[in-house]
C-alpha cells in the first residue's frame, strides 16, 4: 500500500439517541486522505475490542480527534464535578496508554482538541474543567447558533514561539484559528512544551520534548477545510510526511526547537 495507514480515534455515539455506534467526523477522514495523503481508519474507542499493540502494528500514525465527552478527571487525580461534563472512559482507556506508547516508540501522532487534552493528561498533566469560568479568560466554546461555517470561523490569534516547530511549519509566529473547546491545560504534563497561546493565555499548541517522533498537538480544529487553510494544510502535510517515514521503516524527523 502506497499510503500510510492513519488510525483515527473514534468516539462513542448514539444514533437517534438509541443505537450505539463508534463514529468519526468526516472532516478528520478528509484531512487525512486529502492533505496527509494517508489511508483513514476509524478506531473503535473500546478496550474490550481493541488491543493497543495490534493497533500500533497495523497503523503508521494516529489522529487523536476532538469529541464532546471529556477526559475523566480521575485520570489526573481529581474528582468529577458537574463542570467536567460528560465522559468516555472507554476512549480514555485506549488513548492515554496509546499516546505514551507512541511517545516512547517514536510513532507519529497529531492531536486535536480533546486529543490535545489527552496528550497532556497522558504525560501527567491536569486540565481546567471550564476555561470561560477563569478570571481573564475568554469563552472558547463553540458558538451555540449559526451554520457550520460560522461555528468553525476564525475567532482568535495563536502566537507560537519563534524558531519553534510550529513557527517553522507556519512560517510565522502568529496565526488565526477557530476555537470550539471548553476545557484546557491547567498544569502541563512532564515533557509537554506549550509552544503556542491564545491572547488570554490559554495553551493552544504543544509538543513532547525529546520525543523521537512527530507529537504536534493543537487545541483548535485544523481538520475544518484543512486543504484550503494556510495553517491547517502544513500541519496535516507534516503529519503525513512523518507517517510515510514511519511506514518506510524510518524514524520520523523530529520537529522541535533549534
As annotated, the active-site residues are 113, 221, 223
- 52 near 101, Cβ under 8 Å? yes
Cα 124 from Cα 122, distance rounded (Å):
6
139's grid cell: 469563552
Cα 77 from Cα 50, distance rounded (Å):
25
What angle, rounded to 10 degrees, do the helices at 114-122 and 89-105 form?
Answer: 60
Cα 251 from Cα 258, distance rounded (Å):
19
- 131 near 137, Cβ under 8 Å? yes
Handedness of CA 127, 131, 133, 134 (dihedral sign): positive
- 252 near 70, Cβ under 8 Å? no
Contact partners, residue 252, CB within 8 Å, separation at least 6? 106, 108, 213, 214, 241, 242, 243, 245, 246
Contact partners, residue 32, CB within 8 Å, separation at least 6? 6, 8, 38, 39, 40, 63, 236, 240
Amino acid at each position: 500500500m502506497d499510503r500510510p495507514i492513519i488510525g483515527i480515534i473514534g468516539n462513542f455515539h448514539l444514533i437517534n439517541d438509541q443505537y450505539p455506534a463508534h463514529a468519526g467526523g468526516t472532516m478528520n477522514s478528509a484531512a487525512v486522505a486529502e492533505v496527509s495523503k494517508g489511508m483513514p481508519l476509524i478506531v473503535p474507542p473500546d478496550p474490550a475490542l481493541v488491543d493497543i499493540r495490534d493497533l500500533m502494528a497495523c497503523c503508521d500514525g494516529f489522529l487523536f480527534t476532538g469529541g464532546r465527552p471529556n477526559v475523566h478527571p480521575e485520570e489526573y487525580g481529581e474528582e468529577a464535578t458537574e463542570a467536567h461534563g460528560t465522559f468516555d472512559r472507554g476512549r480514555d482507556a485506549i488513548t492515554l496508554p496509546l499516546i505514551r506508547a507512541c511517545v516512547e516508540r517514536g510513532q507519529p501522532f497529531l492531536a486535536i482538541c480533546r486529543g490535545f487534552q489527552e496528550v497532556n493528561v497522558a504525560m501527567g498533566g491536569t486540565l481546567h474543567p471550564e476555561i470561560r469560568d477563569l478570571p481573564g479568560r475568554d469563552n472558547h466554546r463553540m458558538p451555540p447558533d449559526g451554520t457550520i461555517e460560522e461555528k468553525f470561523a476564525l475567532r482568535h490569534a495563536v502566537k507560537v514561539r519563534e524558531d519553534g516547530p510550529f513557527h517553522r511549519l507556519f512560517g510565522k509566529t502568529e496565526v488565526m484559528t477557530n476555537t470550539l473547546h471548553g476545557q484546557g491545560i491547567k498544569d502541563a504534563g512532564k515533557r509537554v512544551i506549550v509552544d503556542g497561546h491564545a491572547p488570554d493565555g490559554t495553551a493552544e499548541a504543544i509538543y513532547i520534548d525529546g520525543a523521537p517522533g512527530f507529537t504536534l498537538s493543537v487545541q483548535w480544529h485544523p481538520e475544518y477545510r484543512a486543504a484550503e487553510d494556510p495553517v491547517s494544510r502544513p500541519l496535516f502535510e507534516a503529519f503525513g510526511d512523518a507517517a510515510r517515514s514511519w511506514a518506510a521503516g524510518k524514524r520520523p524527523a523530529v520537529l522541535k526547537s533549534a
